Structures are given as structure tokens and as C-alpha cells.
Structure 1
Amino acid sequence: MKFRTKTVLGVAVIEAVLLTILVLSTLGIMQRTAEQELLHRAETTGKLLAAASRDALLAWDFATLDSIAQEATSSGRLRYVRFMEKDGRVLAQYGDATAGPTGFSADDGLKTVDDGVLDQQAEILVAGVPYGRVQFGLDIDSVTAATAYMRGWAFGISAVEMVLVALFSLLLGLYLTRQLASLRDASQRLAQGDMTYRIPVKGSDELAETARAFNTMADRLQSFYGDLAEREARFRQYSEVNSDWYWETDRDERYVFISDSFESITGRSPATLLGKRRWDLGSTEMEVDAELWQGHLEDLSAHRAFRDFKYWIEADNGRPCWLKESGVPRFDDEGHFIGYRGTGADITAAMESAHRMHMLTRAVEQSPVSVVITDLDRRIQYVNPKFLDATGYGAQEVIGQMPSILKSGRTDDTVYQDLWATLERGEQWRGEFVNRRKDGSLYWEQATIQPIRNLEGRITNYLGIKLDITDRKRAEDKLGHLLDELKRSNQDLEQFAYVASHDLKQPLRQISSFATLLERRLGDQASDEVRDYLGFLNDGAKRMQALVGDLLDYSRVSHRPLHNDSVAMDEVLSAALVLLNAAMADGAAVIERQPLPNVQGDRSQLERLLQNLVGNALKYRDPARTPIIRIGCDDGVFFVADNGIGIAADQADRVFMIFQRLHSAQAYEGTGIGLAICRKIVERHGGRIWLSSAGDGQGTTFFFTLPGPAAHHVVDSGAGLGQAGAQQQA
């Protein structure tokens, strides 16, 4: 049943009950009033009739009595009048008397009237002595009609009032239910999460005030739920990025709940921990800190909160997994302990980092080099034991001091200026110092000093790593003296070779010339044996002259200053081939050439290089086939390839050594210096030379690199000069 129906029915029932009570009470009052008035009139009428008939009764004047009775009933208010003696005999009577004198019974009120006539009687007294009585009946039809009329009006008014009240109740119910429906709908929409809905407010009555209060409450709820949603979202985000998981234990410290994030963090299923206690999870290989566990068990026994308790378990993959847990005790409503709840975190990375830090610390402590850390004011904050051992100072003597306590005055000030200028730029500095130990002795240090930056990239400290190089310096000094001696010795040897080869030319020419003159002087007189000896002498002199000439060439290559020019290798090759025309024609050689790039170097020496390599290919050609020689450059690597007799792999390095020959002089002429000269030229130009051959009869390819514009170091015109060469130039 709707509230509106309940309201209408309730008001109608209440109104009906109240109106019924009111109408019945009013009708009762009206009836009692009418009855009292009627009884009072009856009493008055009886007294008037008694007074009027007293004299006629004493005189036995029956005619007067009849006249009084007739006159009394003439108005219609009295239905009958009867005069009687005191013994009951009727003296006069007029009107409609339904009851005789013997059956007469006076009515006490209207309730006893059943015939529409109020029967009453009055004593006729003379000096207080009754002489008779008068009986009469009052017509109560008017009273009854008036009462019925009033009852009809009362019920009619009541009906109209009830209809009006019911209509008002209906309208009021509609208004109330409409407002309540608005409140209900608004409450439902708020309950469904629509925090923006508000009740339209009209008027200024209590319901409007209620609607305004509801809207105010909705505003506060919207603000509250907005804050709550924001906090929930923030908490959810924190939970999503948090590395922790959540757990609960029972009163026996056995895990009864572990959140799902445990597995994604540790790699171990939470189910493997349920029903177990913390100390049941360790492996037999676990090193237990008895004191730490004892303190933890005491906290658990006392039901105290604990924080950051660390222990480790084995993950499902067998790797150690360090855990850190914090928890608070749980109690039921009656204060009984029921277990713990808390959070856990995987600190394996942190523990491994701590272990690495420990190893790093131990490595620094045990390092064979000195380690120094200063603040930005250059005051020492840390030194390792090697530093103390190298300097002779104690830790307390150097902490807080500046590194300048080691200055010996032997290191140039520009070194320190460069050091601090480099560090202020945030760069690493490398250099050497001559420092002084506590005992006053000097020592050399090779130092690497660099800034230390924090996570924000700011420089907070300086780190110095120093190596005692005193012994190395002494060895370098000794080696330097030896190298100087060796250089002087090599220069003397080179000078001797140059001078000797230069000075040997004249005697060799004389020997060759005199052998020729002697052969001509003897003419036919010389025996065959003498002629053979003279031929041997002449050939030996010529070979010696060739050897001395090549030796001079080798010395010139080593000593002559390089010209650092841009050289067109195509032109250089063409010039070299012109010098080899005779050899190429003799062997009917085929030359296949590719475009060659420009390089930086000495044109004459590069021409000699190509002449020697192509000449070498022509000399060691295979007599069974036409010699084909290819010259080109691929990615900065020059090559000269032939199809000649080839070179064994184990002889590849030997061919570049001076005076090294792989074949006899009778088979192939030469002195064994040509490829050595090639190697010297290439090396002086900052490059290298090598060969590749598949073996005998497979041909040989010589490769060499030269400093080029794109990727090579340019050799300066004086960079390749040795002291002997400089002296020779002088």
C-alpha cells in the first residue's frame, strides 16, 4: 500500500472517528437538552393545569374542567388532558388518550416514550393536601423531528467534511509522496553512484527545507566520495607500484594469507608458505643469526609490533630470496591475540647490492693501489691501507688534511694547475707526481683523479687512485739510458754501413777495371783457367757493386727526409712502369691496373715501392705461362697481385728481411734487399705491408696501406727521420 493511500485512509479514519464522536456527542447533548426542556415544560404544564383546575375541582365544576382540558389540547402540544380525583376516578378528559387511567404510567424521559407522547401527571394540591391529579400527554413529534433534522444536518456536514478532508488528505498525500518520491529517487541515484543529481527545490516549507538539506548532504557526500575516490585511486596506484605484499598469520604464527603479488615479486607460490611459520622456511644451507632470531621470537611471544625483520628463503627456482617483513599484532573484540598482519618486501637486490658494496669495500681496502677520497674543499675523508703503507702516515694523521701534505716541491706547479682546472670542468685527470713520504723519502705516483657525482649529477667528492711507480721510473730511466746507447750504436752502425758502402765502390770499380784490363793484356796468351779466374773475379766485383748499391739505397730510404706531399698514385705507377718497360717486354707481361687514390707521402719513395713490387712480380714469374700483374686499391688497401711462382706460407715474414733470399743467385739474380726496402718505405709512411699466397705456383699478392686523406695519420716530413739521417743530411 502506497504512502499516499495510507495517508488518505489514515486521515479519513481519524476524521471519521473524530466526527462520529463529535456528532454523537453533539446529538446526545442536543437530545438531552431537548429532553430536559420537554420535561421542564411538562412540569410547568402540569403545574399550570393543576393551578387552573384547583377551584373547579373543589367546586366539582366538571364543565370548567372539560373547558380547561379542551383549551389545553387546542394548541396541539398536548395530545390529551385528564382530570382525576385522588381515588382515580376521572372527572374530565379531552384528547387522544391511548392509555386509560388504570394503565397510565408516567414517562421518566424520552427513552421510555414508545408512542410519540410523553405521558406526565401532576398532583392538584390545596394547602398541601392532594385533592386530585391531572394526567396529560405532550406531543414530542416536533422534538423528534427537530432531533432527526439536526442529526441529518450533522451527518451531512460530517460527510461533506470527510470528503473535504479526504480530498485535502489526497492532495497533501500527493504533495508529500511527490516530495518523498523525489527524495527516494535522489537517494537511489546517490546510492547508484550518481553524485551530481540534486532535488529541484520549490517553495519554502519544511519539505523544501528538507530537499535543500538533502542537496547539501549530497554536496558533502559528493565532496567526500570525490576525496574518497581520489584517496582510493592514490592508494591503488601506490599498491600497484609498491613492491610489497601483504600477509596474515594465526595465533601460532602460521601464515594464513599472503597476497598474490608475493609470487610475482619473489618467484615463489604463496601456497608453499601457507600453514608454515617464518622459521620453517629456511633451507639447511641457511646461515642463521641466532641473536637476531632470538630477539624476533621474543617480540612475537610478547605480541609486540616488529619492523624490518630480515631473513631469506629459497625461491622456486632455487635462488636465494631475501625478505623483509614488518607486522603488528591482531586482537579480537574481547582483546584475545589472534595473530599478526603486515607487509613484506623482496630485498634481494638490496642485499646483493650491499654484498657488492661489501666486496667493493674489501677490494678497495685490499687494493694494491692507493685510494683517496676528498671533499670539495680538498680535505681527505678516506684513505685505504695501501695509501698509509705507501706514505708512512697513519689514518688519523691524514683524515681532514689536504693531499698537499705529500708535496715534495719536485712537481711543477703547472701540473697542479692543470689538475684542478680539469676537475673543475668535471673531467678526469691523469698525471704523475713526485711526492714525499712521512720519513722524507721521495717516490713517484701515477694518479687518476676524477669527480664523484651524486644521483642528481652534482659533484660531491673527488676520488684519487694512485700507483707507486718509483720502481718503474727507475727502470724507465735505466731503459732510457740503454735506448740512448742503442740509438747511438745503431746510428754508428748505420753511419758505418753508409760510409763503408760508399767507400767500397771505388775499390770494387778498380778491381773490376783491372780484371778487365788484365784479361785484355793477356789476350790469347791467357789460359782457359786464367780466363775463368778473371771471370770469377769480375762477376764477384759486379755482385759486390750491386750489393753495395742496394745497401746504399736501403740506407738512403732510412735516412733521407720524407716529403709530405699529396701524391697521385696513378702517376707514380705510370712512372714506375716506364722504368720497367724492358723487363715487361722481355716477359711479355700483361699489366691490369685500377684507378688508384691520392695519398700523403714522398713521391720518389712511393715510386721506388711500386717499382720494386712490380719488378719482383716480373722477376719471379712462372716460365710456363704469361705473367699477369694486377695493381689496384680496395678500401684504402693497395695490392700488387701476380700469377708467378708463389711463396710458401712459412716464408711470408722472411721475405721482408734484409739480405734474405728464398732462391739461389744462379736461379734468380738479386741481393735480397728489394722487399726490405719496400717494408721500410711503407713503415716510414705510417702503414704496413704483408703478403698472401696459396703456395708454390699459385701466385702472390702483396698488400700495403699508406696514410690517406680519409682514415690514416699523415706522416710529417721530419717525423720519419732518425738522428743518423739528420746527421747525413747535415
Structure 2
Amino acid sequence: MRLGFLDRWQSSFRFRLVFATITAITLIVALYTVVQYLRHVQTAESGQKIQAERLADLMAESLAQPMFDFNTVAVDLAARALGAHAEIQWVRVIDSNGDVVVDTGSGAQTGELLLTLRRPIRYRDGARLLDVGNIQMAFSRTPLNAEVYKGAMEILFGGILVVIGTVLAALWAFRSITRPLLEIAQGLDQLAAGKVDLPLPRGLRDDEFGRMGKAMQRFRDAILERQRAEAEVRENEARFRDFSQSSADWFWEMDAELRFCYFSDNFSRIIGTDASKSLGQTRIELPGFEVLNRASVGEELLDRVARHDAFRGVELHARKPDGDCLWFSVSGVPYYDRNGVFLGYRGVGQDVTARRNAEEDVRKLSLAVEQSPNSIIITNAAAEIEYVNEAFTRITGYTLDEVRGSSPGFLQSGLTPSETYASLWEALNNGQPWQGELRNRRKNGEIFVEYGFFSPLRQADGTISHYLAIKEDVTAKKQVEDELQRYRLHLEQMVADRTAQLAEAKDAAEAASRAKGAFVANMSHEIRTPLNAVLGLARIIMRDNAGRKSGHTATQILEAGEHLLGVINDILDFSRIEAGKLLIEPRPFRLVVCVEEATKLVAERAHAKGLQLSVEHGDDMPAWVEGDRLRIEQILINLLSNAIKFTDSGRIVLSLTRHDEQIQFMVSDTGIGMSPEQVRRLFQPFEQADASTTRKYGGSGLGLAISRNLARQMGGDIRVESTLGKGSVFVLSLGLREVPPAGVAAVVPGGSLRLAGLRILAAEDMELNRIVLEDMLESEGAVVVFAEHGQQALSLLETRAGFDVVLTDIQMPVMDGYELAQHIHQLQPDLPVIGLTAHAMPEERDRCLACGMAAHVSKPIDCDALVGAILANVKGRNVVPEVAAVALPGMANPALIDWAALSERYQGRHAFAEKLFAILLRTHAQTPLHLRDAARAYDVETLKSLAHTLQGVAGNIEARALFSQASQLEQSIREGRGDCLALGEQLAVSMDALLAMLRERTGHSISDV
């Protein structure tokens, strides 16, 4: 009889499994096919869009140069070549004005679009990005649809094959599996006593798996009892093992012959040696291990063991192999078999060293408490006395038996303020200690004074269980203090009188110090003002009479004046050091430049004496460091000047060494040297080696004292080693941290009319100073108008216009420089004011800046310093930067013109150089424009010709950066590299910068040429 579907479903596990498997596989394959199709569609579409976006970005980038050059032919060719692709329906290029440059058919749409993209076209011009237009691209969906359809057919065909193959394999596999399962069930029925525990299936039916489950049930029942027994044994073993490992104690065992047969691992750790070496012995016999109380305790223990008696808490004192001693407590019990036959001992050992040590500490503490000179009281939480020491009995007269259980209040005399007791109990009730003075009564009625310390004692849980009082009898001390108090009152009056006297003396000293500072400042001004005129006139005479006797005389006057100026500067520096007003201003600077500047200033003097001056340093010197360059140069100049002064023949070497961030400047000479006594007095103010040194060589004796003070203020020092008659070595050690290169300071190239075209108003009350200032400024090309005081200068500003800058002396009649600067700042805030003062103190500079001045120049006036200050503050006439404005690839922003090389090239003929500049401005004003036009038109021949011409021009005026760029451009064109257009644009930028700088120097503009 043919069975129905439900009957077969109920009776055959194989039928259910085959049907369910085929159904599941079919559904899975169908679902997988759909998912793969959707994923294929998504992947294809996503890939097409990504390719489209990349193509749009690439096209926008490639069209940047043609669009910037308005090369419509190149744009049209590129766009139509792109539009020929099957996936691109149309391309439209629009310029920055919105005009369509190219359109390959955006109006003739023939199919479904995938997407339309729009990308801006940007051209990079140096550091700027210029929008030169945009590109629009439409991508067709037709290629994508064809690819998707092909992929879908492949996925569907593969899914059908998988379903068919899987169904056939399942039919064969399930038929092969179910029959052996019946045999396995029968075999398991016979292995009910086996050792393998198998999981029991749930929800069994009356089929093959049902019969196998019954067999497994019988198998599990058979082995269950055995597993329980084994688990109990393992649990007991694990419990004992855990107890043994977690316990700080150790376990041991003896056999029936009282030989050790077991020690736990802790025993070896406690005694510090391998205890297993005692196994098989009747007592612990180990190398270096010794039981110290074996005679008193060990024999008794052995007797108990011999009688098979139990023993507990037998303490043994032993010495370990490392020499340390320990105490351990041993307990043991005999154990027997079921018949009562003695089998041995089992027991435990415990390290009780800490307890024994604590007991010893308690014993010592008890002795200390009993023998303490201070009385000690311990009460319970109810303030009832439990303990007092012998000192308490000696001081108060009460014994422990008399006071036990009572309150300490019986000692009160009534003379202690109630507030004291209130404060004491408030602190104790809050769990805080208290200390203070109490007046109590002895047993014999005598009043005595105690200074006590009271503290609560806490249990481990934080609750207060006792109170402790430690009190010192200070009666005799109080009597002495009372006597001292009487003397103190008298002394305080004497001190007050003396303090008043000292205050008067202090005020007088401060007044003297202020007078000294004012004197030094005024002295500086009074000397610097005429000295400015002397040095200025000397420079004029020396310049106008070069090679004549009067010129030589002027040189001597200038040298003497500069020497006097150096002495004045030394005195001012020393005064500032004494007043604590000398400021150290660390800034980044180039170390080699600092050293070169210092040696440059003394080189002429060294060569004049026929001395060899050299600088030595290793390759590890940092390029840039942070420090006060001015002060470092000041120290080096002083050390080098001294070396030159005291050396008649030989050489002077300035050597630099580096130790981490420590730089050592060593100045060594072959001069007269010094004795140890002279070295000892060397750094004292106004001291030299001896009186003859001052007479022969001159000097104030302040230079080295100032230099050492400066070095120490900068965290360094100066030391000296010298041998009389052989020379000296001065070592300046400074901590100079290496820093990255900072912005390079501006320089003012000499040898030209640096102030040409400037109109300057100068306020100066001294005629000599006006003459010097007029010559100095007019020689630089400026037009100068003078006023004799500040009021006259204001009048000139009101009646005449067009002044570029105001120079003003500080101390003048009628109106001084400070007031003049304030008025100008209110009337013409954009007009810079520069102060000229003979005061050299730092506070003078701060005062000038505070009243509105733009800069401050000290007298005697240095021409370069004054010109630099003017150019730095006059708008539109800034100093020529040492660094080019445009950074070029592979070059570290070099200077536009190497002025030193240019001066050397034409032997100082500045007029000839200026003539070259004028010719360059006239003949090459349009060269940057020609370079850009040639680059945009891809005219490489014109670019090559211009580059070749500019190499010659740049070489003639020492414009090395421009020469290098022109050479790179010409080489790029010869080699056919693709960067020639960019190099041409960069060369045009550099040429613009050079022309702008030369126009500013000569006063020309494009219209002039």
C-alpha cells in the first residue's frame, strides 16, 4: 500500500531530512542568486560611477593649463577625444565667464543616463589656485545594462547547476548515512559499560535516532556511578592541593619507621633550601640549616613521637642557609590503618617568625613605656584609666592600683581654663589628636604644669577603643620661660629702637643708590652728547681727508673716542649689574654669524699688531641656537680684545666645542700670561693683573668682571688657565639650546643712497650734533630740515607737509623729545618718531617706546643703525629682505643679490653698479611679461632664449638665485622635460621681485623706464 506524504513524514527520518535539505538548499540558492544579482548590479554601477568621477577629475586637471592659456584647440581636441568613449554621452567645457568652450552634443540625448558630473577646472599659479572654468560630462547607462544582463545570466545558470548537484548528492548521502546509524545504535547498546560520555538528544521520535538515543541512555546510566566516584576522589585531591598551595603553612608526613616521606612545597620556600633532601631521614638534616633549640625542645619532641603521642604548637628556632633566623611551630598526629596498625605521622608547620618578632617588639615597647621620663596614661573609651607607667607615679605620687578605673580628672587643680578642656574633648570626640598645656595638682597638693599630647586609639574597623596621653612635666621650664619673658620684653624695646635706626640707614642707603644711578645716567648723557659730536666730526674729517695727515689724525681721534665710549659702556653695564637691571633677552640666532661678527670687530687690531687670528670649530656645531647674541658677542669681543692687547707676537685662537647643549668658547693666546695671584684677582671690578698693566696697556678693569656676570646671568661661567710668560686660555661655557632656523633678520646693503627721496625732520638743540646728523643723512640721499627744540619741530610740522619721519633728541629746551613724540602721536599717528638719546639704560628705551616713539637709537649714532631704524619704520621704504619673497624648489630662499660679491666684483664702484641696475630696469622691465606669454603659448624657443639672456644679466649683478633658475629652465628645455612651463612662471616671479627691489633702491617705476 502506497504511503501518503504525512505518513512518510512521520515514519521516516530520512524522508524528513531529504525533503528539508532539498527545500532549504533550493531556497538558499535562490536567495543567493538574487543577492548576487543585486550585488553585481550595485558593484557594476558603483564601479562605473567611480571610474566616471576619476575620469572627470583627471580631465579637469588636464584641461587646467589649456584653459588658463585660452588654448581652445587643445581643449576641443581633448573633449572630443573623451566624448568618443562609448560610456560618455556628451562633454561640455565652460570657461570662468560662463561661456561654452566645447559641447560634444549635450542637447542630443539618445539614451538613459547613468549620471552627470560637473568638476571645476583650477590652475595653480604659485601658491594660488585660479578658477578658469568647469567641465560637465554625461555618462550613458547602456554599457552598464549590457554588463548587468550578462552577469545575471551567468549567476542564474550557476544557481540551477548547484541546486541539481546538491539534490543528487543529498539523496545519495542520506541513504548512505541512515543505515549505518541503526548499526551504531545497536553497538552502543552493547557498550553500556564504556568510559565515554555522549550527549543525549532531545525530542526523540520513534525512528532510527530514537533507538540510538535509548542505547545512549543505557550507556550513560552504566558509567554514571563510576564517574561520581571518580569525581569525588578528584574533588578531595583538589581540595587538599588547594589548601596546601593557598596556605602559608606547610605539611609533612612520616612513615611507620618515623622517616620523613613528604614535605609540601612551602617548607622549602620557608627554610630557604630544598627540603626534599631530608626525605627518608628521621630528622631534618640539611646543609646550612640548623635547629638552635634542639637541645631544649627537640629531644622532648622526639620522645613524644617515639610514644606515638600527638603534639601541638612545638616551636623551633632555626638558622637558614642564608644566615637569617626563623621560628616555626610544628603540630602532628599519628594515623593508623583500619586494624589499628600505626602507619606514621601527619602534621602541619607554621612560620611564626613575625609573631615572635612582634612579641619581642611589644616587650621592648613595654620597657620603653615603663622607662620613659614622660608620664603615660591609657584609658578605655569611657575615659577610665587602665594603665599608667612609673613616670606617672613619680610625677603625681599616685600608683596604678590607686588610679585604675578612675577618670584622670582627679588631677585637675582648677587653674586650667575650662576652654582648654572643651577644646581637648572636642578634638578627641572628633577622632583628632590634641596637645596643650595643663595645670594639675600632685598627690601632695603641689601645683605643677604639664604639656600633654592626647590621641584616640582606633581598632582595625576604625572605632575608638582607647585614649593615650603622653605628658611632660614642664614646671621648671615654665619658670625659666617666665624669667625669659621679662628679658624678652626689654629686648623687644631695644630691637624696636635698633630697627628704627636701621630703617633710617636703609632709607639713606637707598637714596644714595638712587643718587648713584641718577649720576651714572646723567654722566652717560653729559659725556655721550659731546662725544657724539666728536666721533661724528672725526668720521667726516676721516672720510673727506683719506690719505692725508689730517685724515690720520681724525682716525686717532675716532679710535680714542671709541675707546672712551667703550669705557662708558663698561661703567653703565657694571652699574646695571649692581642694580640688578641688566636684562638677558634670549632669541634664536646663527652661532657662526655671532662668532664672525665678534672676530670681525677685532681682526683689524690683530692684523695691525702682526698677530694671527683664527677660528676653529668642529662639524657638530649647531647652526641655530637660542641665547642673547648681543651679550655673547660682548663677552667674546672683550676676551678677544684682551688677548690682542696682551699679546705682542704669535697667534690668537677662538675655538668652539660642543657637549650636548653646552657650547664652550675657548680664547687662547701666546701673550704675557699671568701668575696664580694675578688670576685670583682677575675678575674683581676695577682690577687688572697689576698696576704696571694699567699703565702699559690701559683699560678700566671692568671688562672681565662684566663678562663673568653676563655669563653667569645666562647660566654659564668663565674660567681661566694661565702661565706667566707663556699665554692664557679663557673658556666661556654657555648652555645654548639648538633651535630650528628662525626668520632671517633684514639687512641694509651699503654703498648706495639708502635714504634717497626721504624728507626728514630732525629736532636737535646742539649745533655740532646737527652738523654731524646733516652730513650723515644727506650722504645717504635724504633731505633734512632741522628744529632746535620740540616746539619748533611742531610748528614746522604744521606749516610744512610731506615729512616721512621725525628724528628727535630727548633732552632739549622748551619742549623735550618725550613731549614732542606724544604731540606727534596725537596729531599724525602714522608719522614715525625715532628717539636719539645719549642715555644707554634699557629703561630709557622702554620710556621712548611708551611715549609713542617707533624706535630708539643711542648716541654716539651709528650710521647703519640709524638708516636701518628709518627704513624699518617708514612705510613703503622697508629694508631689503635677506630672503627672497618666493620660495623656489630645491633652494632655501637665497638673497636676491649677493651684495658683498657685487662690491668685490666691481672693486667698490657703487656708481657703476647703480648704472647697471638702471640699464637692467630700462631693458628688462617687460621680461617677466614676455616669460609668462611664452609659457602660456608653449613657446619653448622664446623661453630658452630669455633664460639664456637672463643668465648673463644675473651673472653681471651677482643675482645668484636668478642665475640658478634661468640655468634650470634652459636645461629643462634642452632635455625636453615637462616642467619647463612651471619653471618659466617661477623665473618670471623672481624677475618681478628683483625689478621691484631695484626700483625701490633707485626710485624708478615702470612709467619712468
Larger of the two Rg values belongs to structure: 1
Sort the TM-score into its range (normalised by shorter chain): 0.3 to 0.5
TM-score, L = length of structure 2 = 0.32
TM-score, L = length of structure 1 = 0.43
Q: Return the structure number with greater relative CO, CA threshold 8 A, min gap 6.
A: 1
